[in-house]
Amino acid sequence: MEPILLIYYQTAQSSAERTARDAPMSLIQEIRENITLHRQPRQIQDLLEDVIVNGIVSENTAFSLLKGFSKLSSRWLFLNTDLTDLRTKSPLLFGTCILAGLHITPSLHGSPTHHALYRHVHGLLGRSQCASAVSLDTIQAMLVCSMWDLRPTRDHDHGNSWLLSGTAAMQVMITTSFGQLLQTRNIQEQARAREILRTWNLICLCQLQFSVGSGRPPVISGQYFDQCAKILEFPSYNSRDELVLAGVYLYRKLWELVSSNVIQKEVPAWPEIEQLCKSQEHIYNLDSSEPLRFAYSCTYLILARRTLQHIHESQPGNSSSTRIRPEADNALAFIRFAIHHSNQILVLFLSMSDLTTCIHPAYENLLCSFAMVTLAEFVSHVVNIGETIGLMERAISHIQRGGKAEPVSRWSLNVIKQHVNGSELDSFIDGADSTETFAPPTAENPRSWMESDWSMNLEQEFPSLEDMFFGNAA
């Protein structure tokens, strides 16, 4: 939390100096007017911040990549501004959307253009944190960077998404009067109020997702999570607003469960989750609710793995090399439950790919890979290995379209393939949509078929979700 505290120390110090020098207006009023409904007219930003003027991308390329961002973000509604108007309104958000849209063109990933764009946007975002109060455009740029991994490298640092979404959340909390959002009469102000709430709800969802995965607590307090429901008080809310809100409710309940000392180890059933889902049954049953059903299976996979970890740790003679005994404390029921929801995650991941032009948010890629780790860990209990191999290969190919395949996903696939002997494999994958040919390691090149540094010893500990977040699994 130290970087965040430093940002806010700088913010408070800069605001206090300007307030004392320029005007008697209270600091709180000044900050709120920067982001909420009574926005003051803005001057055209310095052209030095423009990615086109800087020669990083051509105008044609820039607007082509903006169209790409529009496609991959169409599942959500958090930008009222026409993307073509962003260039003069907010060079930072303009550049961020271009950077995110670049991922739809795999050939550009990791290119000099990608590196130059990332350095430019990263610099603008860093400088924006020193302002006395950031604008909604800046907060939306932070949200985009939190949801998608925009770095040009192929490594992963999911802790950044937790940190950046938390920083965005704190900026909203200190600059937004939620009580005033519903008191607007002007149509333009209503549209802006709705945009603020939609942005806020996505920030809350992102912060909760990465808190659950990393084990780090959300920086958002309960009273501010409660503000998410205000989106339903607008007469023009729609099903996508309801889906995001339902996701916030679900992950908030999941965080409460995983941060408690209570472990459900009798049967794989969590009444708290089922009661919540029943109360929102009409949302879960929508044809377009794949993202929410994906979150539902992610929730149950995480809870099942938590119970299995507890069973593993409570086994007599437990050591780092001890595997879970299926007969212990109803472990087999939780193993089958985890396998079921892992399969559901992969099926829904592929189904949702049409909604995002195959470029999923970072959290969905991560949980898809975590589902593959689970299938590899409990491969001896997988009923149809042939279908599982084909499903995993198709999912991996979709992760790659965004330029980054989680190394652990391919590692998991190879664990399963190693479980099957060569003669059986041919019949298992006959007819499956296989994207690569399996070949066992040779003495001359024992690691040629691996794409990461993960050990292939089947007796090793499999990585947890937190291990995958911070990349410290051995």
Residues 225-249 have pLDDT tens digits of: 999 999 999 887 888 999 999 999 9
Q: Among 27-31, 50-54, 57-61, which is the least confidently predicted range? A: 27-31
Instruction: Tell me how far apart the alpha carbons of residues 213 and 208 are, in angstroms, rounded to a whole number.
Output: 9
Instruction: Tell me how far apart the alpha carbons of residues 180 and 37 are, in angstroms, rounded to a whole number.
Output: 9
Contacts of 458 (CB under 8 A, 6+ apart): 415, 418, 419
Looking at residues 95-102, what average pLDDT do you find?
94
Q: Among 5-9, 198-202, 394-398, which is the least confidently predicted range? A: 5-9
Instruction: Tell me how far apart the alpha carbons of residues 373 and 378 are, in angstroms, rounded to a whole number.
Output: 9
- Reported as a single tens digit per residue, the pLDDT across 136-155 is 999 999 999 999 888 887 66
- Reported as a single tens digit per residue, the pLDDT across 416-466 is 998 875 435 445 444 444 443 333 333 333 332 233 333 334 445 788 888
| 3 state SS of 14 | helix
pTM: 0.81
Instruction: Tell me how far apart the alpha carbons of residues 464 and 43 are, in angstroms, rounded to a whole number.
Output: 49
DSSP 68: H
Q: Among 8-22, 361-375, 380-394, which is the least confidently predicted range? A: 8-22
Contact 88, 51 (CB under 8 A): no
Question: What pLDDT score was predicted for residue 295?
Answer: 97
Query: What's the one-letter identity of residue 10?
Result: Q
Looking at residues 374-381, what average pLDDT do you find?
94
User: Alpha carbon of 19 to those of 7, 12, 27, 123, 396: distances in Å?
Assistant: 18, 10, 7, 26, 53
- Is the pLDDT at 84 greater than 80? The verdict is no
CA-based nearest residue to 407, from 158, 148, 156, 161: 156
Sorted by where each begins, the domain ranges of the chain are: 2-249, 272-470
CA-based nearest residue to 342, from 307, 376, 310, 315: 376
Radius of gyration for the alpha carbons in the chain, expressed in angstroms and rounded: 24
Instruction: Tell me how far apart the alpha carbons of residues 236 and 388 are, in angstroms, rounded to a whole number.
Output: 42
